[in-house]
Structure 1
């Protein structure tokens, strides 16, 4: 049986107070198995980065539990908390902002290595730093050790950020839009580098992106979770989800992907949303929050109750859509009063 690296159990994150309070993350549950990948994908403002920060321990949850190796992170002892913070590292979106401009690459890498007593001597320190740069493809390492961030390209900066995350031998890496600031021509090489690291080092990944094409490439052998307005609306193995998307939001994202083949582009049926506008988190629609934009919207059905994230469950492939639950023979999973148009029976 596979070991679970991290698990969210009905986790929510609230910001603000009173009428201005928003649920940036709302009742999210998932687990990532050790050595595997879960990719969070969705539009800006969907709660992906907030979820990633909670996984990394940078934000506490307002509701629910985050379990690390089966133990609630809020109950960890001081020594266990230190172990957790070493085990979970983060690669930030912007390599221009995440690296200290007045520190050389050697200083950036040396700080965590020395702070956590991973190396004991100066020769060992330099051997370790060179090894890390070689792992992330910055060779020969001595050409990069004494450079400053402004002397590196965007792709090289991001590789240094990955190397820094690897200094403490992490078990789980949260990669938050880790390739979005890099030229398109470099994205695949960075993604392949991280996939190679996962296989060689057994690192678990939570990969966050707004680009479904990137998610598809990186998490092809893992799982994909689609987020919308703070909630996971679909979750499943990536290959199953891409082959048979259940939620209409997921289908809209997939049909919007560009195709290299012009014949496929001409014949591809696009799912047209009813509205391009994303509702405000301060004034969410009733029922399914996607219903104002949903092409499958049914009046008197979709706006009554918010569907549970697993109202559709096909062999572990989950989705939050009453219309699809009915279409796929899972009407018994829909609350009875929703089936009767909001009338309590």
Structure 2
């Protein structure tokens, strides 16, 4: 994949739209910024090209526009604003780049507005999209982008990435296997703050000229109450929630759910629960051994993933309909209590 991207850049045949898709934690945003920096450096003298890459990393390049969700979605107004700007000539190099993060969050109207620009893009315009899955985009949009699927590296590479971090070896191996080599998710679980690149396998490529890419803070029109739990705490809470379901501990299940103080917090928790379901199934069906120090998570292997998904989907619908939060939490806690499957298989 990287060889193809580099060949296109070297030949000057830059695609007008690229999609990097894959699990959160695989470095989609970092890879997108790396590629944006390379696009913005095309045709520039080496010193100017290096400055362009660095400015792209810092988020201050005048020809790079980053679009993020305002609240739960990316609106049609956001897309129209950046596509309109794209039709003006570049300030410095040969291209202007629009980077749309979590493109699956675009509303249908926003995707249709993007489609118009994809159908008749300016010669100097490049769209870079990231998404957890191409299926979150309209078929018409998918047909007009080059899709590059980003997969986690092998588990051994994930473990090797953390060499020197003094993490418990048995826990590191288990968590790496649980997240199937996903470096970002493993970092999040252990609270490691240094930022990863797309994957350990990208270490020796020329695209790795930017050491890290800090995602700019999203601007929201009416931000909800700030969550008391960060990404690491939510991830661990989701793991404990599934473990409590499998251990038949309804009081613990309810207690974890009621820690969410608003709909946004509950939505984020449910997102993490969904991401963990394949990993919980791995514990159950593939017999991944839980280290004694993480024994509290062994209950994850005794849930019924399909039932949990049904519960989550129902709660999401209630959240979107602005149902009473306490009632949604009570319904979810009661439903999850029935998702115990038992046994090791």
Query: Shared fold (TM-score greater than 0.5)?
Result: no
Normalising by structure 2, what TM-score? Answer: 0.28
Greater helix fraction, Structure 1 or Structure 2: 2
